[in-house]
Structure 1
Amino acid sequence: MQWSLFVLILMGQCSFCLCRLYEYHFVEENKTWDEAQKYCRDKYTDLAKVFDMTDMKRLNDSARNQDEAWIGLHNQSNVDRTWLWSLPGVEFNDSETEWGDGEPTDKTSNQENCVFLHNHSWIDSMCSNKLPFICYDETKLKTFHLIKCATVSNGKWSSDECGNTKPFLCYDDEVILINENKTWEQALTYCRENHHELVSIIDSQEQKCIEEVAKQANSPYVWTGLRYTCTLGFWFWITDEAVKYDNWERHGDMDECHMSGAMETSGDHKWSKKDASMKFNFICIRE
């Protein structure tokens, strides 16, 4: 049985942060350390490496309360306690360790050359012991934005005006900006043929996330999945969500046939009612 865990590494303290997300898999099969290493290298990237002490806690949590699990730390045989990570090219940092009390216990015989997690601590052990283990998958590394507050003043994030707003995450791989100018219909067709759908925005959190994507456009607006129906006289998202949240320009054009919704790519990122024959960049929802 395998369990997946995403671990957050925050790059500094800020209102808007670029961060990395690593994926770990707990494998509930008893294997020797060498067998576990081979399994992880065959199916993922390698046995888990602890990138910082925040990882340490979450790696242990990923074991779903199992007593023990191999990680990718080991000591080369016949070498005087030189600890290495299984992941090639990654150096072991003595300042980022969390050995259990008295660990490593095998300081002379070089018999306990592999490390497992136990109660949030590292324990050295004989590599021939069989334990569950945790794999690391760098192919699933994801970049995301951590937005710590949703207050904007003069186009800048304000870290002291957050009020009760909670942090939230925006994942770069959920949507994609297409830097090509197309009509709304052409943009819709492109998204459906190459990805999934034109983007929809159902709340203020999604609005903030899409704003960050829209900033990279080379047109003054980006098309969204908003469409106006003359027959029924209302706006709707083509992904079938109701338009409950909105960010319209209050001085915008009146509703007319053949109109679609676009977002400003700068300023306050307000929504604007545009003739669907106009050509802008657009944002697709990925598959």
Structure 2
Amino acid sequence: MFRFLPVLLYCLGINSAKMTNPFFRSDYTYEPSQESFYKIHFETKSWLEARALCEAEGTSLVMPESKPEIEYLVKIMNDNLPENVIAAYIGIHDMFSEGIFVTLTGRDVPIAHNYWAPGEPTNSNNTEHCVHILRSGKYNDIVCSNRYPFICKKTLESLTANPRCATSDLAYFPNYNTSSCYKLHLTPKTWTDAFATCHAEQSYLAIVNSADEAQFFKEQLADHPPASLHGDFFKDGIYLGFHDLFSEGSHVTILGTPLSQTGFAQWSPGQPDNAGQNENCGHMYRSGLLNDINCSSYKLIFFCERDI
């Protein structure tokens, strides 16, 4: 019961900006003065990777809206980043047209604005189309592929609550027969990217623990027949959270449990076969039976799972 308490407290006060401790995610900090949640990512990413990871966490790469917010971002950086790290990415760019800087939501960021560092933006070598914020609180344009820490933001106003699944993500739905909640991702990804997507959502790539759960996935897939899925990708089944990356033929889940001990290990006939000597990731056909598959050659739809 206690794991639901933060979200339930939020639900009771979802319309109150005066809540003393609203909840979004355990890895985000609420700042009352900005009525928003923030997280600084220490692992450096390119600007595009940073934008995508914030989005996967249900947030946005921060787009500063005021001088007080800029001051708060500087505080975040000074409190958390090593002294030799000079900046963090923010959600501003001029990718659409050189010199026209906009936020991820399309708001103009005039070049003449005093938020820019002296002499910036320069578009050095015609390659600087993304923006980071310096420790001085000033903006600087930078090559988008350069790697920096970054800050994600979620406003209180945009917050939703899904207390049944202990998340703000409304796309998760419970299956009380399995004591889990699930989210079906219809945008196909490689196994590695599917794993990362679920991890960003504080969930995990789904694991089958019983014949009933396998049947559940089979029925869910029947509701999304191949003809309903757009794009050219492998549509017979889903990625699952097991692999034999550590030792060929020794299949374990991403939580470390041997597949033979999960409660479901029914392979499709002739599987696993490690075709081409490079099939090391888990897959389930629409038949509900398991298969080993190349981790990066195929893009599949997948489920993320979280316990309830």
Task: Sort the TM-score into its range (normalised by shorter chain).
Answer: 0.3 to 0.5
The alignment's TM-score, normalised by the length of structure 2, stands at 0.37
- Structure with bigger strand share is 1
The alignment's TM-score, normalised by the length of structure 1, stands at 0.40
